[in-house]
């Protein structure tokens, strides 16, 4: 995959990445965020509506949702680039970033 600066770093076969992605670690992080979100939902059910604690928990739940969306998108991107790297697709048909 060519761009103005050469090959995309994730698709360079000669270079070793500084850190190898760990889907196991990402899955553990996602699991933990889901647990925290579930706990916040449970606490919010027992909290009076329109109280400061209710709004604080609502904000935390929204933040957990955004973090999960980001991690899921990163996982999909990582899986996509891993698939492309395994296909041995000619550079002329690979996407340009």
pLDDT recorded at residue 16: 45
What predicted TM-score, i.e. pTM, was given to this entire model? 0.61
Cβ–Cβ under 8 Å, residues 58 and 41: no
91 versus 46: which is more confidently predicted?
Answer: 46
Q: Do residues 55 and 76 lie in contact, with contact meaning Cβ atoms separated by under 8 Å? A: no
Task: Tell me the CA distances in angstroms from 60 to 35, 48, 73, 88, one per residue in order.
Answer: 12, 16, 20, 43
pLDDT in tens, 22-71: 567 888 899 999 999 999 999 999 999 999 999 999 999 999 999 999 99
């Amino acid at each position: 995959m060519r761009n103005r600066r050469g090959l995309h770093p994730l698709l360079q076969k000669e270079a070793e990445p500084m850190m190898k992605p760990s889907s196991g670690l990402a899955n553990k992080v996602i699991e933990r965020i889901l647990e925290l979100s579930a706990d916040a939902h449970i606490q919010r059910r027992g909290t009076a509506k329109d109280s400061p604690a209710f709004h604080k928990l609502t904000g935390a739940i929204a933040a957990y949702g955004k973090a999960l969306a980001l991690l899921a998108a990163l996982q999909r991107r990582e899986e996509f680039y891993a698939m492309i790297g395994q296909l041995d697709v000619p550079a002329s048909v690979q996407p340009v970033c």
